Amino acid sequence: MQRIIMNSDQEGGLSFVETDSLQPLPHQSLIKVTAFSLNRGEINIAQSPTSGGRSIGWDFVGVIENSAADGTGLKKGTRVVGWRPEMDAFAEYVIGEHQFIAPIPDAVSDVQAATLPVAGLTALAAVDQGNRLVGNSALVTGVTGGVGYFALQLAKLSGARTVAQVRRSEQATFASNIGADAVVVTEDGSGLEGEGPYHLVVDGVGGQLFSSLLSVTAKGGTLVSYGSSESHESTVNLYPALFGNGGQRRIYGLTLYSEIEKEPSSAALTRLLNLVERDLLKLPETITSDWSETPHLAEDLLARKFTGKAVLTL
């Protein structure tokens, strides 16, 4: 079978190789991949010279070719979407771990489903950390990225008044179109207090913005950090950022790898798919191409030459 591996010397940090066929354990299924989508995080990892030779890929869609030998899980022929914590989804076949896959409703296409796993699951886990969202405000940064795109919509579906932080004025219309009730254009967080405080803040930017986000989090509210695209370092003035205005703020560090301990990805993906099927959750615009174009689209993703998701089909 063919798979894509990390190779920093090649375009997009990726190359194709031939590998041995997969041999599932009795509780695992074998899935023939029909599509997968790219995430900036995994492509960034591929740029490192120390990552050479490693497999890559979280998100995938496929059809169960062989069901689990022990009789558990989904049946042969079931169309499924899922993710691979082992990062080996960019391949002709993947192993199916039942807690990481979900059946796709007939009304949802492979390309649509492929946009969901890591971005959608992270957003859902982040919004699930909110409390008393109905009628209160939620702030989401990075709404032009996958997680922020879904998180803003999910917060609105949860009854929150949604506020989007964007860095450039030309991004404001995009944020409004996906449901933002208000948009604040800022890089350092100035102006966010005018729309706050926020019972939930979902952030993937970090850096200098983080302290400002914490200071506008409401008493009893939660700041969820799932990444730090700007910088891993932030200077926080504990007062007023943490203790001001009554304190009681909570910082929640979110990684999808541990969220499985709270809810199987199979159940969370089913929740998202139900929203898509009912036309309640918008999906990002997609660029769709044959998987032979993966290295080229990975390069374009890093260069920010397109918005939305790149979906590769097999």
Query: What would the pLDDT profile of 219-263 be if each residue is shown by its tens digit?
Result: 999 999 998 776 777 777 777 777 777 788 899 999 999 999 999
CB 171 within 8 A of CB 142: no
Q: What are the structural domains of the chain?
A: 2-115+283-313 (3.90.180.10), 120-257 (3.40.50.720)
* Phi, psi for 287 (deg, rounded to 5): -105, 120
Question: Residues 6 or more apart from 305 whose CB is under 8 A from it?
Answer: none
**Per-residue confidence (pLDDT) for residue 161, from 0 to 100:** 97
Mean pLDDT of the 122-140 span: 95
Q: 19 pLDDT exceeds 80?
A: yes
State what percent of residues in the chain have pLDDT above 70.
100
Mean pLDDT of the 198-208 span: 91
DSSP code string of 88-135: --SBSEEEE-GGGEEEPPTTS-HHHHHTSHHHHHHHHHHHHT--S-TT
The crossing angle, in degrees rounded to 10, of helices 117-128 and 146-157 is 40
Parallel, antiparallel or unpaired: strands 29-37 and 14-18? unpaired
Q: Return the amino acid letter for 129.
A: Q
**Per-residue confidence (pLDDT) for residue 306, from 0 to 100:** 87
Per-residue pLDDT band for 98 (boundaries 50, 70, 90) equals very high
Distance between CA 169 and CA 249 in Å, rounded?
Answer: 30
CB 141 within 8 A of CB 214: no
Parallel, antiparallel or unpaired: strands 59-66 and 217-225? unpaired
State what percent of residues in the chain have pLDDT above 90.
78
Residue whose entry in the numeric block shows the structure tokens 């003035």: 237
Per-residue pLDDT band for 108 (boundaries 50, 70, 90) equals very high
Distance between CA 133 and CA 36 in Å, rounded?
Answer: 33
- Give 182-185's long-range contacts (Cβ < 8 A, gap of 24+): none
CB 143 within 8 A of CB 166: yes
Per-residue pLDDT band for 210 (boundaries 50, 70, 90) equals confident
Q: What is the mean pLDDT of the chain?
A: 93
The crossing angle, in degrees rounded to 10, of helices 265-277 and 117-128 is 100
Structure token digits, residue 199: 């019972």
CB atoms within 10 A of CB 305: 10
Instruction: Count Cα neighbours of 3 within 13 Å in the Cβ-side half-sphere.
Output: 21
Distance between CA 82 and CA 118 in Å, rounded?
Answer: 9
**Per-residue confidence (pLDDT) for residue 254, from 0 to 100:** 94
